[in-house]
Amino acid sequence: MTVQLNHTIVWCHDSTASADFIARILGRPEPVSFMHFKVVELDNGASLDFMDRPGEISLQHYAFLLGDDEFDAALGRVRAQGLTFWADPARSQPGEINHHFGGRGVYFQDPNGHLMEIITKPYVIR
């Protein structure tokens, strides 16, 4: 067996709202309930498992690799919701798209402040 990411827990204040938000932006099916999680399935078999947590939440970063058409649709939904987006993780380039490695990418925040990223080309780090 190869090593693959299976799931990650996304801490949030409202698991239903948070899971619905990212599923809607990414064009995914409606989240499903599993135990105490709201689960958003991704195409590679991994899932985001949203779980309520009272108090302070440590903010995380989640990046999603999309095809060009899926990127256009997701960015359209970001814009339609009036969300601020940036070309960089430092959030110093509002309303811009990056073109790293010949692709396109943007960052935006979910309802809890997690920094979400959509890209069309994986980052080459080798």
Q: Kindly list the domain boundaries of the chain, sorted by start residue.
A: 7-52+59-119
Bridge pairing between strands 61-65 and 32-34? unpaired
pLDDT in tens, 4-35: 999 999 999 999 999 999 999 999 999 999 99
The answer to whether 11 and 58 are in contact (CB under 8 A) is yes
Q: What CATH architecture does domain 7-52+59-119 belong to?
A: Roll (3.10)
Q: Nearest Cα to 105, choosing from 123, 90, 84?
A: 123
**What pTM was estimated for this model as a whole?**
0.94
| C-beta atoms surrounding 86 within 10 Å | 21
The answer to whether 103 and 119 are in contact (CB under 8 A) is yes
